[in-house]
Amino acid sequence: MRYVSTRGGMAPLRFEDVVLEGLAPDGGLIMPERLPDVRAELDHWRGLHFAVLGAHLMSHFVDDISRDDLATMIAQSYRGFDHPAITPIRDLDDFYVLELFHGPTLAFKDVALQFLGNLFSRILAARGRTMNVLGATSGDTGSAAIAGVRGKPGLAIFVMYPNGRTSYLQELQMTTVLDDNVHCLAIDGSFDDCQAMMKEIFNDLEFKNTYRLGAVNSVNWARLLAQIVYYFYASLALDDGGKRKVTFSVPTGNFGDIFAGYLAMQMGAPIERLVLATNENDILSVFFNTGVYARGDVHFTISPSMDIQVASNFERYLYLKLGSDPEALKRFMTDFARDGRASLPTLGPVDDCIVACSVDTKETLATIRSTYERFAYIADPHTAVGIAAGRRLATNGSPLVCLATAHPAKFPESVDKAIGKPVAFHPRLDKLAGAKTRKTVLPADTQAVKAFIEAHAI
């Protein structure tokens, strides 16, 4: 398997090189040259443990790591999860919940970032190299990335996040990690500012190469590869031996999680369709209903990991939608960069595979409350957005699976307010109160971030 850039300016790379490259040198995102059709393997995969299934699936994309080594690394990545199923499925009678928050930082990002941290370590050790990982987070990516690389030799991590715009606990999960190789950068701006600066820094190829920068955001293909696994795992568990397909509802900010589901669908997973659920930051839901992609102001909500206007993984979807044509993709992205708006040639609903809607704060709180009252299940605000959207949109009779992307204890103020009593807690988070913290506040200025990296890179 070889990998190419969505913008067409990169020579094909193998998997290990893609992991280290992160963002393509031409500013594009990296994609496999083709998506494998795995339908002939589904009967064999049905019922496999998550980690075993992951090794079978990922081997289609990884041909420069042996199957045995890959399987060992995947199993190692999930040893710290607190549920034997890794991503257990909860049956709430009316719908299912796929719980993705059983990793060390209690968020779905752990599924990919524990694996990516081990990948980095393996590849760097084999090549005798070091790396400075740069990431931007709207909440959960930062702590999960830190947990994946903290203390690992040959690695340092720099995480930018919008100062005061993550939840209190999300920030503590980052800033209480005091390992020498961890640097938390609180940026006076929005997540979109953080993400724009990250891309600008990566596009400075001289700086990127000098300081050996690596990407931990979902621009890194390995993140998506790990996330594809749980779509196969859940759909094969619920497809009644191949007799039916499953609908997934996905709370969506940066488009990485739902794009992993889209890739699984294209590969042959038994998926009927995907429900794209946004909060008031509805640029993606508007696009999938109208074909118009238009930037708006960032709204700060109780689901902060979704408070995003420019979704980085959207470029990968467009690349496939435009027939893997780099020139068409570049025209679209140029229009958007220039005008803050771009559209597909045919306006209206964009994709039969994806239906989309926006869920506001009032409905999110109501969904947290009703889900607790009806099913005795506690959902965090992001999960509640997915539940509300999934139940609003018809599923054509297929089982509905809502992705639970974070443990409710990460958002106690909103969850306890909605339910009317203190129910959102976790001993792992309780221990953070009063712990020593370390962070650096910086302006939303690329040169300031570069200067910090220069001073602290390994």
Structure tokens at 394: 């018809």
The amino acid at residue 205 is L
Structure tokens at 180: 């020498």
Q: Is 417 a catalytic residue?
A: no
DSSP label at residue 107: B
Strand order in the sheet with 131-136: 213-215, 131-136, 155-162, 182-188, 440-443
Find where tokens 């890794």 sit.
Answer: 86
Strand order in the sheet with 400-404: 89-91, 96-99, 400-404, 246-251, 271-278, 354-358
The rounded distance, in Å, linking the Cα atoms of 109 and 218 is 9
Structure tokens at 32: 């496999």
The rounded distance, in Å, linking the Cα atoms of 242 and 270 is 7
Note whether 191 and 138 are within 8 A (CB).
yes
At 4, phi and psi to the nearest 5?
-130, 170
DSSP label at residue 23: S
Note whether 104 and 146 are within 8 A (CB).
no
State the catalytic residue, choosing from 109, 208, 245, 330: 109
Q: Where are the alpha helices (DSSP H) in 291-377?
A: 314-321, 326-339, 361-375
Structure tokens at 417: 């307010």
With vertex at residue 144, the alpha carbon angle to CA 138 and CA 149, rounded to the nearest 5 degrees, is 125
The rounded distance, in Å, linking the Cα atoms of 116 and 221 is 10
The rounded distance, in Å, linking the Cα atoms of 254 and 417 is 27
DSSP label at residue 58: H
Residues acting as catalytic residues = 109
